[in-house]
Homo-oligomer: A and B are copies of this chain.
């Protein structure tokens, strides 16, 4: 779960029966392609931010980056447009069965959610509780309110089930979060 090892390239495969080893990122990307192809929404994952230090330019072949480092993201991973609205969210997988630790979300990302909410964004977190094979949509406002209360260092699973919205999965839309967005944000 921790940066910089959270990208799908380096993470251990998630081999639950129902999702056939697909990571949350892969499921969201597949769903986003469906949304794009069906003219439902235009939402993309941002590239992983890296600081490029050294590039080789071999003759007759592509430029090769030979020294680069992972950089902390200043924003959330996903944004785009749906029904004319600016959409912004972060997606996280959580292996613990009991709670989602705040340490898994960077302070910059929480600040970014505050910033976009102020300007009218539809902002949320998609949280996959891998132990239960459940994906929840949590409104960024609800998350921030709990976070700011400062009483806990994690979101308890019970809080997640009571305040989050279970996201349906289908083969073509393995994480159909916009169905929830439409209802929860009353679009």
Contact = CB atoms under 8 A, between A and B. Distances in A.
B70 A67 contact: no
Interface in A1-35: 4-5, 7, 9-10
Contact size range, A: 35 or more
B70 A62 contact: yes
Contacts of A83: 119-120
Contacts of A118: 39
Contacts of A87: 86
What number of copies of this chain does the assembly contain?
2
A121 B115 CA distance: 19
Interface of A: 4-5, 7, 9-10, 36, 39, 41-42, 44, 46-50, 52, 55, 62-71, 74-75, 79-88, 112, 115-116, 118-121
Most buried by B among A81, A86, A119: A81
A96 to B, nearest CB: 24
Contacts of A41: 119
A81 B85 CA distance: 9
